[in-house]
Structures are given as C-alpha cells and as structure tokens.
C-alpha cells in the first residue's frame, strides 16, 4: 500500500528540488506505477502546476515536458511524421488509452524501467534530457547514471536526418514486451537498442563496423551485412528469462527483430 503523509503542489522547480532532497520524498508523475508499490512517502511532490505537460517544436528539436502524458506523445503529428510512425508504434501497445492518458514521459524515463518501450524508442533517437541541477545530458549517459535527488524537467529530441523503425514481440497485445527493438540509421551510423531483455534498454554499438556504408551497399552486400549484424547482436545483447520468456527465446528474438528492423531502415523488404 502507498501511504502519503503530505502532498505539495509546488510553484517552482526550486521548491520541488528542495523538497525532494529528503530520501522519503517522492516526485509524482502519472501515479500509474507508484501506486502499485508498497511505500511510505513523507512528501508527495506534484509538478502539474509548472506547465511541463506540453510538446513544442522548433526547427532544431522537439521539446517534451516531463509531465506530458504518453498519449500526447503518441498523437503528436510532428513526432509521428519525423519518426515515420515509429514513436506511435512504440506507444500504442502500452496497456490502454486510459493508462497512456495518465502515465507521463518523465516518469517513464526517470524510472529507467527494463520493460519501458518509451526508453527503448528514445535511446535510438538523438535525445537529451534536462535535469534541474545537472543540466542537459545525453539520454544514453543518463540511463547509466545512478538515481539521485535531481528533477527531470524536459526531454529534447533533435531533428537529426534519420530512418527509424520500432518492433516488439508481445505474448498479448497490451502486455509488457517480451523483447523490444528500435533501430535508427543516420549519417552517424546505425543505433540498435534492445529493451525488455528483461533488463534496462541497451544501446548496442557496431564495434566491428559491420554496417558501415549500409546505404551505399549493393542489395547482396546489404543482405550479408544485415545477417552478420543480426548474428553479432544475438551474441552481444545479454538476455535472461522471466515469466514472459526464456533467455534463449529472447536471444532468438534479438536476431530476428534486428534483421527485420535493419531491412526496414536499409530499404529492403522480405522479398529481398
């Protein structure tokens, strides 16, 4: 059972930060995961009055407030167009519309949940987070940082020219993914991210340069490179088992979803 002693709807980020320095304080997001736990909270901190529930777009990036509901992210036309539907695909299977109207982007990112579709998706993009005291930090660095008492304020998705696709395997439509895979292709190369391993999402680097020059390869060369990288991913993405699937099954999914995702962003189809 969740027990809250004091509730404060803060008027500034500074007030929120000061209140959050106590170990037993807690910043509220959409309250969809927090309420399912057993915890005593001395001070519940509500950021909903700070105007951090919007998505704005400029020529360089999308700026997403930490209190933005997942449903708003899912329906945002600019993000949908930029990712060619990938961000909508990453969100539309999360429980249900009512849930996504409550769950916040900030809560999903700050929690660094192993099952998080949101974290898996955003890691494959050129994404930064803004911390109240820590400033702007690359998302790939943020997920490795230990949790502290800072406040996550905004998420920035830079408009890097890229192709991206999101795939997941689920036992039932609205369940947590057995494995999630997001692959993006840009001028800086390929990013392959794997979530629900079932550990926290992992960004896999192409240390062997298997996919270097993927877009300029012939169809035969591209097919060979994709098959090699799928094998490479299966060898280098750690998996384990739980109630949704075994480690062996997840490793097989790593290989299959990697191949399918690379074929999508690399311009191939199953007919190739």
For residues 76 and 70, what is the distance between their CA atoms, to the nearest angstrom?
A: 10
**pLDDT score at 267:** 65
Which structural domains are found in the chain, ordered by start?
2-46 (no CATH), 55-158 (3.30.465.10), 162-265 (3.30.390.50)
Number of residues that this document lists for the chain: 272
**pLDDT score at 252:** 98
* 162-169 vs 179-186, strand pairing mode: antiparallel
**Per-residue DSSP letter, 157:** E
Return the exposure string of 51-60: e unless at least 16 CB atoms fall within 10 Å of the residue's CB, then b: ebbebebeee
DSSP notation for 193-226:
EEE-SSSS-EEE--TT-TTTTGGGS-HHHHHHHH
The string of pLDDT tens digits covering residues 37-96 is 788 999 999 999 999 999 999 999 999 999 999 999 999 999 999 999 999 999 999 999
For residues 201 and 191, what is the distance between their CA atoms, to the nearest angstrom?
A: 12
The string of pLDDT tens digits covering residues 196-210 is 999 999 999 899 999
CB atoms within 10 A of CB 264: 19
**pLDDT score at 247:** 98
**pLDDT score at 34:** 80
Give mean pLDDT in consecutive 10-residue pieces for the chain, a chain of 272 residues.
Answer: 93 98 93 81 96 97 98 97 97 94 95 94 98 97 95 97 96 94 93 96 94 90 96 98 97 98 76 37
**pLDDT score at 270:** 42
């Amino acid at each position: 059972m969740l027990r809250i002693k004091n509730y404060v709807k803060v008027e500034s980020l500074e007030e929120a930060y000061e209140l959050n320095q106590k170990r037993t304080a807690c910043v509220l997001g959409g309250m969809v995961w927090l309420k399912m736990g057993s915890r005593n909270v001395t001070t519940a901190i509500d950021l909903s009055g700070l105007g951090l529930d919007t998505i704005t777009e400029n020529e360089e990036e999308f700026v997403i407030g930490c209190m933005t509901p997942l449903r708003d992210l899912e329906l945002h036309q600019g993000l949908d167009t930029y990712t060619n539907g990938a961000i909508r695909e990453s969100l539309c299977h999360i429980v249900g519309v009512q849930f996504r109207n409550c769950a916040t982007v900030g809560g999903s990112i700050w929690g660094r949940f192993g099952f998080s579709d949101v974290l898996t998706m955003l890691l494959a993009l050129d994404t930064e987070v803004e911390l109240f005291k820590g400033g702007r930090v690359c998302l790939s660095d943020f997920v490795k940082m230990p949790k502290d008492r800072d406040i996550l304020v905004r998420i920035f998705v830079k408009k890097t020219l890229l192709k991206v696709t999101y795939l997941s395997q689920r036992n039932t439509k609205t369940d947590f993914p057995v494995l999630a895979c997001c692959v993006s292709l840009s001028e800086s190369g390929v990013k392959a991210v794997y979530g629900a391993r079932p550990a926290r999402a992992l960004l896999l680097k192409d240390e062997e340069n298997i996919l270097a020059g993927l877009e300029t390869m012939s169809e035969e060369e591209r097919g060979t490179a994709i098959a090699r990288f799928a094998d490479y991913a299966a060898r280098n993405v750690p998996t384990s088992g739980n109630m949704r699937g075994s480690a062996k099954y997840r490793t097989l999914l790593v290989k299959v979803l990697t191949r399918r995702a690379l074929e999508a962003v690399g311009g191939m189809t199953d007919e190739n």
